[in-house]
Structure 1
Amino acid sequence: MPSPPDPLGWAGYAEAHRRARDLTGKPESVTYERTVIGGVDTMVVEFDFRFLGGSVGTATGDRLVTAFSSARSAGIPVVSLVATGGSRMQEGLFSLKQLQRVAHECQLNREAGIPHIAVLRDPTTGGVWASLGAGADVIIGVSGAQVAFGGRRVRVEADHAAFTAEGQFAAGLIDTVMAPQDVPAALATWLVLLTGTSTEPADVPKSLGGQELPANGWTAVEQARGPDRPHAPAYLESYFDSYALVGGDRVGGVDPGMLCGIGRRAGRSVAFAAQAGTATRPAGYRTAARVITMADRLGIPVLTLVDTPGAANDSTAEAAGLAAAISAVFAAVAAARIPVTTLVIGEGGSGGALALAGAGRTWITPDSYFSVIGPSAAAAILKLPPESVPRLADQLHLRPQDLLRLGLVDGIA
């Protein structure tokens, strides 16, 4: 096998490279292969940490560029099995600049609608994590793996939960964590989900709750707030044959009240963003925007389930960029070329609910309401006494039948 490029004339580099080749039987730290996973033709890129710490040099960059560009030409997804310490010291800045080449290829694939799944093995550190792994559509962390931008030898704190796959998941930076033996099945599942494109809108889910329309506005509010009313998990279980969740907003936040992912229904994929009845936090909106944007890029129709009394309005939410997060969802829905189907399944409170609503494709269940704001908040804004709240509920015309009559929804599920 040939010696590696040695732009700096690093003493002993050629010999170290030869030993790595002898140890692994591979020409470089990265290999790639076109194979079939879960019935999906896939380009698999694999890092070998035994080969100089899975580091990236000039020749490694060439291999990554070839793998991603070949996948793009063939129109097939990429799976990256990452285990790396980052850039190769022996090639200096020539090595570091490979990250730009890799990031460029990843962006070209995103623009071409090529799905990318990254599996973070132990360890995943340095610029490869930042340039290749962190931008994947779905990120799977292997349990116990070290995952961090700074490697253990160079960061301020040697060990901390934040530097693990589990810590990254808890912070909303990766989608899931699993044992190594569970990864192959997860890859098969996600590859099918990410390649199930369709131009047809998602079906409107059937209502799972009460079928009687409310007699007045306050009854509509009470039904929507009822403790026995079905919530998003029940709708997802009823609607999909199977589904997988993504976790977090990729910038450090998780909102358990926003369930996002992709499911299979009648042999095709449908992405979803579902509010679970709580006040939605900035991380929830950012996660929803991420999934809607990804689905649009991959050609997957979207279903949104609206159920929130409104956006979270505490100081923590404001400091976390609440308005910008809501804006991101409005923008994602507005920019989507794929159809967005919406069903209001509970409370539809203010702009925090409207952000998820697909224009021209919004339905509501009989046990729901949709309003400019909840009646109690409306009374506070208008400086009216608490006893005026039921009357305000009527004045807001928030019942399903009112909204249909006014042309504000497309139908009652």
Structure 2
Amino acid sequence: MNWLVNVVRPKINSLLTRQAATPENLWIKCPETGQLVFHKDVEANHWVIPGSGYHLRMGAVQRLAATLDSGFEEIKLPDVAADPLKFRDEKKYVDRLKDARAKTGMTDAVKVAVGAIEGSPATVIVQDFEFMGGSLGMAAGEAIVAGLETAAARGTPAILFAASGGARMQEGILSLMQMPRTTVAVQMLREAGKPYIVVLTNPTTGGVTASYAMLGDVHIAEPGALIGFAGPRVIEQTIREKLPDGFQRAEYLRDHGMVDLVVHRKDMRATIARLCRLLSGAPAADTLLDAPETLSDEAQVEAAHA
């Protein structure tokens, strides 16, 4: 009995303690190639798989840090009713919100910050897909409107990183109302004469694509991003035809005129900074024309006349 208590039990406890201390996400598997990559290497590479170039989803906090210069100011966002319709499916909507907040550390799916990108003032609005699929509800709509109003008031360009599965069904018509509200806010920014640059990340779908995500002066997409209203499977079932290869992917949309640029994440910050200088009429705008590897001639012309 003493041997079981004094020897076996401590060994078992030691083994269980070591297993609990080992991180679960030590390795990341590339969804495209199946390659296993050490998560620190992926994080250092802006959440892009080094071998395949596959762009993983990037959280709002990491996106702001990677885009803005240090010392940026995060904007306090308006409060909204947490559960206006008292919605419940398999579980209460308020419980889903609590779970999403605990998982992401965010109040809702959108963060807004004001700062500079390579010295150029900018207001950056970021959707986080990890928060309930980046869905557009009242809180997200208020945040986007607040971000666009902040850009107009402070006289900066607005850069929006879209990542969403669409409207939030738990808020019904109140969610759908955010589409015209954000559209009006984009128009206010346009009347103030400030640029609006949209970066479409994987995925950008549903009511977000049908509103503020496709109203930019310039549209940039990350490589391989899924962009559209309905998904490819739904479209195929509706029209009963096989869709072309790469349909609704960033490169396909660029080739067919729906997206201006497809930019690798490592070049995103520099590209946005050059566009901000060009569209704001800053003296350094001519540096944009010195980077043909980043922007095509057609895209430069479109950006200059946006």
TM range (shorter): 0.5 to 0.7
Q: Mapping of 1:116-127 within 5 angstroms?
A: 116-127=196-207
Q: Secondary structure at the match of 1:156?
A: helix
Residue 89 of structure 1 is matched in structure 2 by 169
**Cα distance change on mapping 1:192 and 1:129 into 2, 3 Å:** same
Q: Is the 8 A contact 1:4 1:17 kept in 2?
A: no
Residue 69 of structure 2 is matched in structure 1 by none
Q: Is the 8 A contact 1:31 1:63 kept in 2?
A: yes
| 1:145-179: CA deviation from partner (whole Å, max 9, x where unpaired) | 11111135744369752211111111111111122
Q: Is the 8 A contact 2:261 2:299 kept in 1?
A: no
**Cα distance change on mapping 1:58 and 1:172 into 2, 3 Å:** same
User: What's the offset of the Cα at 1:59?
Assistant: 1.4
| 1:238-281: CA deviation from partner (whole Å, max 9, x where unpaired) | xx55568877xxxxxxxxxxx4454xxxxxxxxx4xxxxxxxxx
Q: Is the 8 A contact 2:278 2:304 kept in 1?
A: no
Residue 8 of structure 2 is matched in structure 1 by none
Percent of counterpart pairs with the same letter?
Answer: 35
Q: What is the alpha-carbon distance in structure 2 between the residues aligned to residue 70 and residue 58 of structure 1?
A: 18
* Greater fraction of residues in strand: 1
Match of residue 136, structure 1, among 209, 213, 216: 216
Q: Is the 8 A contact 1:175 1:245 kept in 2?
A: no
User: What's the offset of the Cα at 1:291?
Assistant: 5.3
Residue 185 of structure 1 is matched in structure 2 by 270
Aligned AA for 2:175? S
List alignment gaps of at least 5 residues for structure 1: 199-235, 248-258, 263-271, 273-286, 295-413
Q: Is the 8 A contact 1:140 1:178 kept in 2?
A: yes
Compare CA radii of gyration and give the structure with the larger one.
Answer: 1
Q: Is the 8 A contact 1:138 1:246 kept in 2?
A: no
Residue 18 of structure 2 is matched in structure 1 by none
Matched, 1:9 2:86: yes
Match of residue 77, structure 1, among 147, 152, 157: 157
**Cα distance change on mapping 1:3 and 1:176 into 2, 3 Å:** closer
Match of residue 41, structure 1, among 121, 142, 149: 121
User: What's the offset of the Cα at 1:111?
Assistant: 1.6
Aligned AA for 1:8? L
Q: Secondary structure at the match of 1:192?
A: helix
Q: Is the 8 A contact 1:168 1:174 kept in 2?
A: yes
Residue 369 of structure 1 is matched in structure 2 by none
Q: What is the alpha-carbon distance in structure 2 between the residues aligned to residue 246 and residue 72 of structure 1?
A: 27
Aligned AA for 1:181? K
Aligned AA for 1:177? V
Q: How many residues were matched structurally?
A: 218
The TM-score, its normalising length taken from structure 2, stands at 0.64
Residue 46 of structure 2 is matched in structure 1 by none
Match of residue 167, structure 1, among 243, 252, 262: 252
* Greater fraction of residues in helix: 2
The TM-score, its normalising length taken from structure 1, stands at 0.48
User: What's the offset of the Cα at 1:191?
Assistant: 1.5
Q: Secondary structure at the match of 2:166?
A: coil
Aligned AA for 1:50? E
Q: What is the alpha-carbon distance in structure 2 between the residues aligned to residue 20 and residue 154 of structure 1?
A: 27
Q: Is the 8 A contact 2:85 2:171 kept in 1?
A: yes
Matched, 1:196 2:196: no
Q: Secondary structure at the match of 1:113?
A: coil
Aligned AA for 1:108? M
Q: Secondary structure at the match of 1:144?
A: coil
Aligned AA for 1:150? A
**Cα distance change on mapping 1:76 and 1:3 into 2, 3 Å:** closer
Q: Secondary structure at the match of 2:247?
A: helix
Q: What is the alpha-carbon distance in structure 1 between the residues aligned to residue 144 and residue 293 of structure 2?
A: 28
Q: Is the 8 A contact 2:200 2:227 kept in 1?
A: yes
**Cα distance change on mapping 1:15 and 1:188 into 2, 3 Å:** same
List alignment gaps of at least 5 residues for structure 2: 1-78
**Cα distance change on mapping 1:116 and 1:129 into 2, 3 Å:** same
| 1:3-32: CA deviation from partner (whole Å, max 9, x where unpaired) | 953232211111011111011100000010
